[in-house]
């Protein structure tokens, strides 16, 4: 079923691409099913959709608020049923702006973000929508049963999404950077056969330097360039470790930030990466067959570019040492007892209090995950359910 869906999506896509439409669908020998990544043109921001060979869908970021008018219908074309997972790399508006509407219009089964507090109205509203509409909330937190391994998400047919960063409480969040929200972006490596994609959010140079001290093979065929091509990220040592064959820069035409910067274009060129830009070329389609990746920009007449996969080993090249002992003066911070996937609502107990976040129309049980994720937000506490019901609706996530 999922397979049929993917074929249909591919058919529509192939038919829409000039030059490719004439290719006969005949297949003499069984070809591996493709892994497809769409780097959407969302203006100044990020949004990319992964469609695995078995039809699993992962959306990484949802562009700025103004992007949802184009993004929602595009996702409806490509995805049938709810998204399997939405990853918000970090709670900045150019990455989360379209997500609330996407969740409402397309749906999502799971939501993951780096799980640090961020005082913004749009993020709070998004968490409210997540609380009401999304079944599971995940974090890249290491599994306490095996804290020295990286968290991985299988997408079928050997396609794996590995979460490289952040890894709290095993490793503490990076602090005192140009932007700590950027520096603690979720970094994920998607692998399929010899090909890999590295999604770096808005990683800062500190993120790159720290990750390089970890036993990780960063080699990736396609790099989603950090921070829209901002000059501080994509350092030469990091690019030397990633060895990207192709680099995708997601940014807006004539944006106010000067993205991408000449410095980053030059550093990418120095490692031999073919550069794709959503501001100039529109949406960029990347299709992996496990051996090569074919990149096709939507705008312009340039033919598809085929780059070879070069990944030979596992993502983790050894057990992840904990940085906790170093950063907390010898005191090892114990891993929390929660599993990365939280599904079941907490069991009901007597004496429960109910809490509503400022500006929200719903109330939650006091132990609801949504509240834990919004520790510093203003809140109203009700000591009994009747008073809460008088003023607000029960939230769908914890069903108080």
Q: Using the minimum distance from each CB to Zn ion, give the nearer residue, 94 or 279.
A: 94
Q: Which among 9-17, 114-122, 178-186, 345-353 is the span making contact with Zn ion, rule CB under 5 A?
A: 178-186
User: Which of 29, 46, 45 is CA-nearest to residue 37?
Assistant: 46
Contact residues for 346 (Cβ-Cβ < 8 A; gap 6+) = 365, 367, 368, 398
Mask of contacts with Zn ion, 236-275, x by CB under 5 A? ----------------------------------------
Tell me which long-range contacts 291-296 makes (C-beta under 8 A, separation of at least 24): 291/32, 291/193, 291/194, 291/195, 292/195, 293/195, 293/221, 293/222, 293/245, 293/246, 295/222, 295/246, 295/248, 296/17, 296/20
Q: Using the minimum distance from each CB to Zn ion, give the nearer residue, 92 or 118.
A: 92
In the numeric block, which tokens belong to residue 388?
A: 């809460």
Residue 195 beta carbon to Zn ion: minimum distance, rounded to whole angstroms: 25
Q: From edge to edge, which strands make up the β-sheet containing 151-154?
A: 151-154, 160-165, 187-192, 195-199, 222-224, 246-249, 274-277
Q: Which among 59-67, 70-78, 182-190, 306-314 is the span making contact with Zn ion, rule CB under 5 A?
A: 182-190
Residue 160 beta carbon to Zn ion: minimum distance, rounded to whole angstroms: 25
Q: Using the minimum distance from each CB to Zn ion, give the nearer residue, 36 or 234.
A: 234
Q: How far apart are CA 269 and CA 261, in angstroms?
A: 12
Q: How far apart are the first and last CA of the chain?
A: 36
Q: How far apart are CA 47 and CA 5, in angstroms?
A: 21
Residues between 380 and 399 that touch Zn ion (CB under 5 A): none
Neighbours of 270 (CB within 10 A): 11
Residue 238 beta carbon to Zn ion: minimum distance, rounded to whole angstroms: 17
Q: Using the minimum distance from each CB to Zn ion, give the nearer residue, 182 or 200.
A: 182
Q: Using the minimum distance from each CB to Zn ion, give the nearer residue, 230 or 309.
A: 230
Backbone phi and psi for residue 162, each to the nearest 5 degrees, phi listed first:
-110, 125
Residues between 36 and 95 that touch Zn ion (CB under 5 A): 92, 94
Q: Using the minimum distance from each CB to Zn ion, give the nearer residue, 34 or 114.
A: 114
By CB under 5 A, is residue 182 in contact with Zn ion?
Answer: yes
Q: Using the minimum distance from each CB to Zn ion, give the nearer residue, 94 or 113.
A: 94
Q: Which among 148-156, 168-176, 180-188, 321-329 is the span making contact with Zn ion, rule CB under 5 A?
A: 180-188
Contact residues for 188 (Cβ-Cβ < 8 A; gap 6+) = 60, 87, 161, 162, 163, 164, 198, 199
Residue 217 beta carbon to Zn ion: minimum distance, rounded to whole angstroms: 26
Q: Which among 108-116, 179-187, 357-365, 386-394 is the span making contact with Zn ion, rule CB under 5 A?
A: 179-187
User: Which of 228, 236, 248, 180 is CA-nearest to residue 208?
Assistant: 236
- The DSSP annotation for 119-152 comes to --HHHHHHHHHHHHH-SEEE--PPPTTSTTSPEE
Mask of contacts with Zn ion, 189-218, x by CB under 5 A? -------------x----------------
Residue 240 beta carbon to Zn ion: minimum distance, rounded to whole angstroms: 24
Question: 249 near 284, Cβ under 8 Å?
Answer: no
Residue 199 beta carbon to Zn ion: minimum distance, rounded to whole angstroms: 12
Q: Using the minimum distance from each CB to Zn ion, give the nearer residue, 94 or 206.
A: 94
Question: 240 near 270, Cβ under 8 Å?
Answer: no
Residue 121 beta carbon to Zn ion: minimum distance, rounded to whole angstroms: 16
Residue 224 beta carbon to Zn ion: minimum distance, rounded to whole angstroms: 11
Residue 183 beta carbon to Zn ion: minimum distance, rounded to whole angstroms: 9
Q: Using the minimum distance from each CB to Zn ion, give the nearer residue, 249 or 285.
A: 249
User: Which residues form the interface with Zn ion (CB under 5 A)?
Assistant: 92, 94, 182, 202
């Amino acid at each position: 079923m999922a397979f049929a869906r993917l074929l249909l999506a591919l058919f529509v896509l192939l038919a829409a691409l000039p030059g490719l439409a004439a290719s006969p669908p005949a297949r003499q020998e069984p070809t591996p099913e493709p892994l497809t990544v769409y780097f959407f043109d969302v203006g100044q921001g990020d949004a990319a959709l992964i469609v695995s060979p078995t039809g699993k869908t992962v959306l990484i970021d949802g562009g700025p608020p103004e992007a949802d008018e184009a993004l929602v219908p595009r996702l409806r074309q490509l995805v049938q049923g709810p998204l399997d997972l939405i990853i918000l790399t970090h709670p900045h508006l150019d990455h989360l702006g379209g997500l609330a509407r996407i969740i409402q219009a397309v749906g999502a089964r799971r939501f993951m973000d780096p799980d640090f507090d961020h005082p913004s109205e749009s993020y709070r509203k998004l968490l409210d929508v997540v609380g009401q509409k999304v079944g599971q909330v995940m974090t890249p937190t290491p599994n306490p049963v095996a804290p020295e391994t990286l968290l991985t998400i299988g997408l079928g047919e050997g396609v794996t999404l590995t979460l490289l960063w952040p890894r709290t409480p095993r490793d503490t969040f990076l602090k005192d950077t140009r932007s700590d929200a950027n520096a603690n972006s979720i970094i994920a490596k998607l692998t399929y056969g010899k090909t890999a994609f590295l999604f770096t959010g808005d990683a800062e140079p500190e993120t790159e330097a720290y990750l390089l001290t970890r036993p990780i093979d960063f080699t990736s065929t396609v790099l989603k360039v950090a921070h829209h091509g901002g000059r501080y990220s994509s350092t030469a040592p990091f690019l030397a470790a990633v060895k990207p064959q192709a680099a995708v820069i997601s940014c807006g035409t004539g944006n106010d930030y000067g993205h991408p910067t000449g410095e980053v274009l030059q550093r990418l060129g120095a490692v031999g990466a073919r550069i794709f830009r959503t501001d100039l070329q529109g949406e960029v389609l990347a299709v992996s067959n496990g051996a090569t990746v074919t990149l096709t920009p939507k705008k312009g007449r340039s033919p598809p570019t085929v780059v070879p996969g070069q990944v030979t080993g596992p993502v983790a090249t050894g057990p992840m040492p904990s940085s906790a002992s170093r950063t907390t003066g010898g005191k090892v911070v114990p891993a929390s007892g929660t599993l990365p996937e939280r599904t079941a609502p907490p069991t009901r107990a007597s004496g429960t209090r109910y809490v509503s976040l400022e500006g929200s129309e719903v109330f939650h049980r006091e132990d609801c995950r949504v509240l834990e994720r919004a520790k510093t937000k203003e809140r109203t506490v009700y000591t009994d359910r009747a008073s809460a019901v008088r003023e607000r609706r029960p939230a769908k996530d914890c069903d108080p």
